[in-house]
Amino acid sequence: MLSSDKNNFTEGNILKKLSLFMLPVLGALILQAAYGAVDLLVVGRFGSTAGLSAVSTGSQLMNLVTFMVTQLAMGATVLIARYLGEKKPERIGAVLGGATVVFAILATVLFVLLVFFAHPIAVLMQAPSEALGLTTRYVRICGMGIFFIVAYNMLAAIFRGLGDSKSPLLFVLVACLINIAGDLLFVAGFKMDAAGAAIATVMAQAVSVVLAIVILLKKDLPFTLKKSDFRLNPQCRKFLQVGLPLALQEVLTQASFLALCAFVNRLGLTASSGYGVASKIVSFAMLIPSALMQSMASFVAQNVGASKPKRAKQAMFTGMGIGLVFGCAVFALVMLKGDVLAGIFSTDAEVVQKGFEYLKGFAPETILTAILFSMLGYFNGNNKTVFVMIQGLVQTLLVRLPMSYLMSIQPNASLTKIGLAAPVSTLVGVLLNTAFYLYFTHSQQKELQKAA
């Protein structure tokens, strides 16, 4: 049921429709990155260098968890959008109910791991000795609030699947404001350092989840949700077939960044803090490609469900154009003014310099991801998530990790050389995706010829 024209991606101007859907997604991602950046900013200004390192290392781990959940939830997004395109909304209730059970189980497992194994995890990430205790505390507190983090990302995926990207923007806006207030209270006011930042993050997520549930219950939904839907039903297998490959790929991708964090941590506290600052800038640089990928999956899935593959391809190329325009501008900003950007998060000149060093190597990534992420969104919408997983594993295990490790053990190791591992691996991903696109297009043409 696509009664609302604004949520119907199968007709109308592609650039306009995609842009209008993408803008709230981008806004939500900006606010998510902002409240992660606020943690680092407030701790950098009012906490200690050890606290800055703890938030940097701990947030890398929490990013892994968050992105894993987001990608797993993408399965629900794609399936909901597909059913809307096929005009079969009666199947959506079972998708939501089954997803709720699956994510509740996942949250329980993560709670046990993050709360009871926080110290071994911090050691495994090679947190500097001065920051080990603070890192452990940060991870443990975030682990206590993992149910809220998981629930928020699942609910946001449901709204996007329904073609509503504005509600998740509202949720994260509220979370961002609460997080800022919490950081100022606990870190600047009560001097709780990294632990205060973690408490503020959990509080913010909790409020956003409550708000999301209230809005979902009041929303005029194109389906009914029954008590019997809340079980491990056949729809679970369908959305997991889409989401699991993406989640696995994301876990390994984020694990590679955790490993990179560990490699950098071995270079000392200043390098660790500098990399943490650079990572926050990187998270902002990747916002438009990430928004394109998330939006593209819903956009393409609807059109595939409505048997409009040509329009789905046009959307992919439109996304690439949007991404390249902004990617080139971000490249210039990061490459030329990276030290100014790093100076926003720290007043320590050495930390700022180390952050700028990493950004110089990373900068080409801002252009390459404009192409890669639009293609990944297209393949996700086409339910080709196994390929998306495979190409991600190749990038991670065969390129990014080996290269970053080799660069980190050189006698003249620099963060610039380590940073180069990201764009090199993404270039490999672009080549793999281009080859698969040609194969996929050829296969579609053969199927059309057979049908004719």
pLDDT tens-digit readout, 150-202: 998 888 888 888 878 788 888 888 888 998 899 899 988 888 888 888 899 89
Distance CA(371)–CA(183), nearest Å, equals 36
Rounded to two decimals, the pTM is: 0.72
Which pLDDT value is given to residue 307? 85
Which pLDDT value is given to residue 452? 60
Asked which of 5-14, 41-50, 268-277, 324-333 is least confident by mean pLDDT, the reply is: 5-14
Mean pLDDT of 258-285: 81
pLDDT-based confidence at residue 119 (cuts at 50, 70, 90): very high
Alpha helices in 164-268 (DSSP H): 166-183, 193-218, 234-265
The encoded tokens of residue 262 equal 């560990």
Percent of the chain residues topping a pLDDT of 90? 22
Query: What angle separates helix 365-381 from helix 269-285, to the nearest 10 degrees?
Result: 60
Computed on alpha carbons and rounded to an integer, the radius of gyration of the chain in Å comes to: 21
Contacts of 445 (CB under 8 A, 6+ apart): none
Which pLDDT value is given to residue 6? 60
The encoded tokens of residue 348 equal 């320590």
C-beta separation of 40 from 55 below 8 A: yes
Which pLDDT value is given to residue 3? 42
Which pLDDT value is given to residue 2? 44
Question: Is pLDDT at 35 greater than 80 in this prediction?
Answer: no
CA distances from residue 397 to 102, 265, 372, 392, 423 in whole angstroms, order as listed = 28, 20, 18, 8, 14
DSSP string, 243-299: HHHHHHHHHHHHHHHHHHHHHHHTT-HHHHHHHHHHHHHHHHHTHHHHHHHHHHHHH
What type of residue is 135? T
